[in-house]
Chains A and B, each alone.
Chain A
Amino acid sequence: MYSSELIKGTLKTIILKLLSESDKMYGYEITQKVKELTGGKIQLTEGALYPTLHALEAQGILSTDVVNVGNRIRKYYSVTITGKQIAKEKVNEYSDFIDTMIFLLDLKPKMG
């Protein structure tokens, strides 16, 4: 498990990347997917997930679909066209950031 500070800055990027690769997902599904993909190393906290999802929806980056499941309502999130562009930018930015961090923290595998 990584510290929540590390995850906080990347939450948006993770959500957008996951959603832009699938048709639609709901909140619990997103947390489970991340957990599964990272072998439990990254666990999104619900306290941060929902505020971010709602904000992204308000910004028009995500669109939602409401479905009745048993006795309750489930909200499916999917990425809008503008959202896809933003997801791409976010991922590129993050990859650039990682390269910089590797350089900054001198993590390059030593040659020879």
Chain B
Amino acid sequence: MYELSKDQVDFILEDVRRNGIKTEELQLSLLDHICCVIENEMSPDKNFDDYYRSVLPRFFKKELKEIQEETDLLLTFKHYYAMKKVMLRSGMFSAITFAIGAIFKIMHWPGASALLQLAIISISFIFLPIFFLIKSKEVKVVQQKFIIGFGVIFGILFCISTLFKIMHWPGASFMWLLALGVLFFLFLPVFFFSGIRNPDTKMNTILSSIMVVIAGGLLFTLTAIYGAKYKEEAIEIADLHLKNVTIFASSSLDDKSNKIDSLVRIELQQKTEKVLNNISEVRNSLYKYLGEGKSVNEEELLMGYRNDYLSCHQFFFKSYTRNPEKDLPKEILIQLKKELKTYQSYVNQYFKISSKSILNLDDQNRTFDGESVKTDWEHIYFSVTPFETIVRNLNQLEIDIRLIEASCI
């Protein structure tokens, strides 16, 4: 058996290092292995240098540093399978939670927000980051890494802005615009210009870019522009509401020139306030219901519930069949109608005023699928009616009451 001198061992170690083996652990492992080969397999009459040169190629195909690269790859992917598992599970979890949360939200069952929050948080903070780590390691080209990175940033911002929007938290729109900014000014240029250079991917790149522009543009139109429109409309409605209240407050009962007796006047005032309070209560509990327990203002609700006739219908009625005979009103609406009727009959009795021309609580004929159907007051104003119309109807009801009151004096 050949015995290696210290110089020879040092020489081998140095040579291994020079050939691109960077980590000490690997250097020492290879050193021992090479030494073992030489000690066990070289016949004593052979020359060390020649033999060493002939042994080395056993370790690689082209270069020794292949071993270093292979080790690095295996080590960086040490947690690869665990990560992949977490990614798939969190993805699946998010998808299922999101679907269930959406159903809960539509049905207004408790826990909808918690489920949606959980889904969005697990998508944005577990699924997408791991997706980025895994995918960006799989691609070799730097541009591809950027494409995946920007795509993931867009995804996270999009998810979080959706979360903010459904929770009615401030900053949703800003985040949404930021997401679109990332999509249009970072993701798309890199994606387009890196893909178009390669003849193989040219066609697909152009098609995908067009899709991204259309989809992003549609989302932008749907949210940002209409969002601004809702806002104006919401302010308009809120203004109108405020104006009504002021007009009637100033016009009504402080007027000294009225003919009626002050005691009667006080009674009328009390009864009017009672009805108006009842309307306010209905309004407040509707807002609270839509805001899921939190007090949310009209403006924010208009952003979230515009054109949403189902949520309001579910607040006022026991079922949703769209058949006026089957959908029975809930207690809150029955109570409101009762109050209004009591007020009307009081006014009719004491002031000999027929308030029907102002506020008609009777059943009326409505055309429904081409047929004239007798429909009650509850269904005309509150059934299958979008939120903004309900707000308008409640405002109108307040105006009507004030008008009746004014006509009494």
Contact = CB atoms under 8 A, between A and B. Distances in A.
Contact of B59 (A26, A47, A69, A72): A47
A55 B32 contact: no
A62 B75 CA distance: 14
Nearest to A53: B29
Contacts of A45: 58-59
A27 B75 contact: no
A94 interface: no
A41 interface: no
B61 interface: yes
Interface in B1-51: 3-6, 9-10, 13, 25-26, 28-33, 35-37, 40
Nearest to B35: A72
Contacts of A55: 71, 74-75, 78
Given A47-B66, A51-B67, A55-B71, A71 B29 contact: no
Given A28-B37, A52-B74, A73 B28 contact: yes
Contacts of A71: 4-6, 9-10
Given A45-B58, A46-B59, A51 B70 contact: yes
Interface in A47-77: 47-48, 50-55, 58-59, 69-75
B75 A28 contact: no
A69 B75 CA distance: 27
28 contacts: A27-B29, A27-B32, A28-B33, A28-B40, A32-B40, A45-B59, A46-B30, A47-B60, A47-B67, A47-B70, A48-B70, A50-B29, A50-B30, A50-B33, A53-B29, A54-B74, A55-B74, A59-B78, A70-B9, A71-B5, A71-B9, A72-B31, A72-B32, A72-B35, A73-B28, A73-B31, A75-B28, A75-B29
A47 B32 contact: no
Contacts of B28: 72-73, 75
Contacts of B33: 27-28, 46, 50
A58 B13 CA distance: 23
A69 to B, nearest CB: 7
Given A75-B28, A75-B29, A51 B71 contact: yes
A5 to B, nearest CB: 13
Contact of B32 (A51, A52, A54, A75): A75
Interface string B236-254: 0000000000000000000
Contacts of B9: 70-72
A55 B59 CA distance: 17
Given A46-B59, A50-B67, 20 more contacts: A26-B36, A28-B32, A45-B59, A47-B61, A50-B26, A50-B71, A51-B67, A53-B29, A54-B25, A54-B29, A54-B74, A54-B75, A55-B71, A58-B75, A70-B9, A71-B5, A71-B9, A72-B9, A72-B31, A73-B31
Interface in A9-47: 26-28, 32, 45-47
A102 to B, nearest CB: 28
A32 B37 CA distance: 10
Interface of B: 3-6, 9-10, 13, 25-26, 28-33, 35-37, 40, 58-61, 66-67, 70-71, 73-75, 78
Contacts of A27: 29, 32-33, 36
Contacts of A70: 3-4, 9
A85 to B, nearest CB: 16
Contacts of B30: 46, 50
Most buried by A among B13, B66, B70, B73: B70
Contact of A54 (B58, B60, B71): B71
Contacts of A69: 32
Contacts of A26: 32, 36
A90 to B, nearest CB: 14
B16 to A, nearest CB: 11
A58 B77 CA distance: 10
A45 B4 CA distance: 23
A58 B78 contact: yes
Contacts of B70: 47-48, 51
A55 B37 CA distance: 23
